[in-house]
Amino acid sequence: MDISVNKYRSSYKLLNFNHLMQIYEKNYQLFMIALEFIADQQKTSTILLKNNLVLYEPISISRYTQIFRLHHKFKNQANSVQTSYSLKPHLIYTLYRDAKLLEVKTLRESREFHSEIDNKIAINLSVYNWLKYMIEKNDIYQ
């Protein structure tokens, strides 16, 4: 039985890789919509999507590659004073303009060359669902 599993393991990885590339493409398309709201991509900016503030923080920008972080800003509703705070996730976004892909990595994955494809799929799928929710629930697009 183990022989048959090992026989199909390489095609299973190929299927996961293709699925991961499709998620990268979808993330790119969704983020390009949100990127339209940023006037100057060279500096830290705030994007407003349906009363949700998203902080855009560029790390490195070149001709074909853009590396940045996104932080979701939360409003503190416990106090009567309107304050906000953001949780800095350990995610690094890499936008490849020439390939039209958006890859998301954790800080650990960005330091190490090798990472599990299952982890990449889980992280990028979570970002896809988050971006999709933020854009679809936005009043501007309805």
Q: Within a domain: residue 57?
A: yes
In this prediction, residue 17 has a pLDDT band, given cuts at 50, 70 and 90, of: confident
Cβ contact 46:54 at 8 Å? yes
The per-residue pLDDT for range 28-71, each reduced to its tens digit, is: 998 888 777 777 778 888 777 666 777 888 999 999 999 999 88
pLDDT > 90 in the chain, percent: 26
Torsion of CA 33, 104, 66, 140, to 10 degrees: 10
Q: What is the rounded distance in angstroms from the CA atom of residue 53 to the CA atom of residue 30?
A: 16
Q: Within a domain: residue 63?
A: yes
Q: Within a domain: residue 12?
A: no
Q: Within a domain: residue 85?
A: yes
Domain containing residue 96: 39-141
Q: Within a domain: residue 25?
A: no
The chain-wide mean pLDDT, for the chain, equals 78
| Domain tally, the chain | 1
Torsion of CA 47, 138, 136, 49, to 10 degrees: 10
Please determine, for residue 22, whether its predicted confidence score (pLDDT) is greater than 60.
yes
Q: Within a domain: residue 54?
A: yes
Q: What is the rounded distance in angstroms from the CA atom of residue 61 to the CA atom of residue 68?
A: 8
3-state secondary structure the chain: CHHHHHHHHHHHHHHHHHHHHHHHHHHHHHHHHHHCCCCCCCCCEEEEECCEEEEEEEEEECCCEEEEEEEEEEEECCCCCCEEEEECCCEEEEEECCCCEEEEEEHHHHHCCCCCHHHHHHHHHHHHHHHHHHHHCCHHHC
